[in-house]
Structure 1
Amino acid sequence: MTAQRQERNGGRSGVYFRPGIALITLLASLLSVSPGDLGSSGFTAKAATTERVVANRFSGLAIEGYDPVAYFVDARPMLGLPEFEAAEAGVVWRFRNEGNRASFVAHPDIYGPQFGGYDPVDLARGVTVAGNPRFWLISGERLYLFGREEHRGAFAKDSELLLRRANSRWPALEQDLAQ
C-alpha cells in the first residue's frame, strides 16, 4: 500500500472500513429475522425449546416471568416481581409476593406448569412447542400452558385423551430435551 493510500485510510495498513459492506451486513441481519420473532413492540425473546422447563433464553425466566401461583390464586396470569424469585429446575421463577413464592417452593410439582410449560396438545402429537403463559387452563388442579389459543379449546373439549397421549410421549420427549 502506498503512503498516500495509508494516509487516506487513517494509517491502517491492510484494514479498510467499508461503509457499504457494513450497511449491507446490518440490513441482512435485520432481514433474517422471521415474522414470528417480531412482537407488537418490536423484537420479542423466544422461549428455549431445548430444556425440560420452558425458559426465556435471554433472561432465564420461566414462563416469561409470570407468577405460576397467581393462576391458582388470582385466576389470571400476573407478572412476578424481581424481589420475589426462586430457582427451581434450573430456571428462575418470579412471584407477586412472598406467600406465592413460599407456596411454590414447598410444592413446585403442583404450582409449576405441567410438562415444563410445553403445550400438551403438541406433546400429544409428539412435538415440543413452548407454551405461552397467556394461553392457559387449570384442569385437574394442574396448570397447562398452550402455544396457541385454539389448543386451549381443543384441550378443554377432550383433555382426557390428549393427556393420555401427552403423558405417554412426554418421557421420551423430555429425555430428548435434556440432551
Structure 2
Amino acid sequence: MTPERQEANDIATKPHFRPRIALIALALLAGLGGFMAAGTAARAATTERVVTNRYSGLAIEGYDPLAYFIDGRPELGLPAYEAAQGGAVWRFRNEGNRDSFAAHPEIYAPQFGGYDPVDLARGVTVAGNPRFWLVTGQRLYLFGREDTRDAFAADPAPYLKEATQRWPALEEQLAQ
C-alpha cells in the first residue's frame, strides 16, 4: 500500500471520522423529513371546494362546462376564453359560453363542486372525472368512476337527497 493510501485509510478508520459521517447522515435525514412534511402539507392544501387540477389550476381539467349541455359531450376549452370563478380557472370553447357561465355559474358548473354525488352520499369527497358525467334535472354531475355514474343514473333521487344533506358539512372541511 502506498503511503498516500495508508494515510487515507488511517483517516477513514479513526474514531473522529465516524461521528462526522453520523452528523452528515442526520442532517440529510432531517432535510428529507422536512421535505416529506412539506409534501404532506402541499397535498393537504390541494383539497378544494371546487375540483381543480393541482398543477394547472383548471376546473374540470379544462373542459368547457357548457359543452355538456350544448354538445352533449365533454369538449376542451381554449386558453383564450378563460374565466375565474369559485377559486378556479374555467375554460370555454368560445366567448358566448364564457359569458353564459359568468352570468349563471350555479347552473353550468358541476354540482357539489365537481365531487362525485354518490360518494358524497356516503360521506366522502371523491373528485369527479370530467369524462364520467351526467346531466340530469338541468344540472351537471361528475363522477369518480363509471360504476358510480351508472348507479346514479339508475335512480338519482336517493343519492341527491343524501348528498345534498351531507354536502354543507363536507364542503366546510375542504380548504377555501
Percent identity between matched residues is 74
Which residue of structure 2 aligns with residue 175 of structure 1?
172
Task: Quote the RMSD (CA, aligned, Å).
Answer: 2.0
- CA distance in 2 between counterparts of 1:168 and 1:124 reads 8
What's the counterpart of residue 35 of structure 1?
none
* Unmatched runs of 5 consecutive residues or more in structure 2: 9-19, 21-42
One-letter code of the match for 1:156? A
Deviations 1:115-151 (A, max 9, x none): 0000000000000000000000001000000000011
- Structure having the higher helix fraction is 2
Q: What is the match of residue 157 of structure 1?
A: 154
Deviations 1:130-177 (A, max 9, x none): 000000000100000000001111001110000000001000000000
**Counterpart of 1:95?**
92
Does structure 1 residue 166 correspond to structure 2 residue 163?
yes
Under a length normalisation based on structure 2, what TM-score does the superposition of the two structures give? Answer: 0.74
Question: How do 1:37-116 and structure 2 match up within 5 A?
Answer: 50-116=47-113
TM-score, structure 1 as length reference: 0.73
How far apart are 1:178 and its partner, in Å?
A: 2.8
Letter in 1 for 2:169: A
* CA radius of gyration, larger in: 2
Counterpart residue type for residue 64 of structure 2: D
Matches of 1:120 and 1:106 in 2, distance apart?
A: 24
Write the letter of the residue equivalent to 2:152: F
